[in-house]
Amino acid sequence: MSVLIINGSPNENGNTSRALTVVEEGLYKSGIETKWIHIGKKAVHGCIDCGHCKTAKRCVFDDDLCNTLIDAILEADGIIVGSPVYFSSANGALCALLDRVFYSTCTWHQMFAGKPAAAVVTRYRSGGSATLERLHKYFLCSQMPVVSSNDFMAFKEISHEELSEYDRNILETLGVNMAKLLKTRVEV
């Protein structure tokens, strides 16, 4: 079993990556492998409502991560999306990418239905709850169970040296809960 971890930050080793790494530790402790995709700093197209994906189940634009991400999600047993909050919501490039990924696969086809998903947010000030809500909507509209932890999944400035035991537990618990759900699905 494997979980796809999507780092929605342009900073490959920033706060979002550090938070996702702690979640990954919880997955590893539960025997779940991971694969990472970093959206990076390259330009991302927005949806142009061309209709190509209605029959192709892929985006017409093939020069960014959209179709690669579709394939990776289909291959994974579950997904975890992490996003920084730059201005009261999720990273704009991540949202443009996820809009196209989910529109092309789940609007007419529900290709991710039943696949567990979770979101992790890092922030400096406000916008944590709005960002979680936006990311969860991708999953909920796609019939994907949303995995939770033992507290709110929005964190302020993460560093492994300064991460409180309480915050570490929240992040690791998310990984453990994802693993439990995945293992339950296999047993059924």
Q: What is the pLDDT of residues 23-73, one digit of tens each?
A: 999 999 999 999 999 999 999 999 999 999 999 999 999 999 999 999 999
pLDDT digits (tens, 9 = 90+) for 124-154: 778 889 999 999 999 999 999 999 998 877 7
Question: What is the pLDDT of the chain when averaged over all its residues?
Answer: 92
Task: Pick one of 3.40.630.30, 1.10.3720.10, 3.40.50.360, 1.10.620.20 as the CATH number of 2-187.
Answer: 3.40.50.360
Pairing of strands 2-7, 78-85: parallel
To 10 degrees, the CA torsion angle through 174, 86, 48, 68? -40
Least confident span in 41-50, 97-106, 116-125, 154-163: 154-163
Q: Check residue 186 and give its pLDDT.
A: 64
DSSP states of 93-112: HHHHHHHHHHHHHHSSS-TT
- Above 70 in pLDDT, residue 76? yes
Question: What's the pLDDT at 161?
Answer: 62
Nearest to 83, CA basis, from 29, 138, 32: 138
pTM over 0.75: yes
Between 162 and 182, where is the model more confident?
Answer: 182
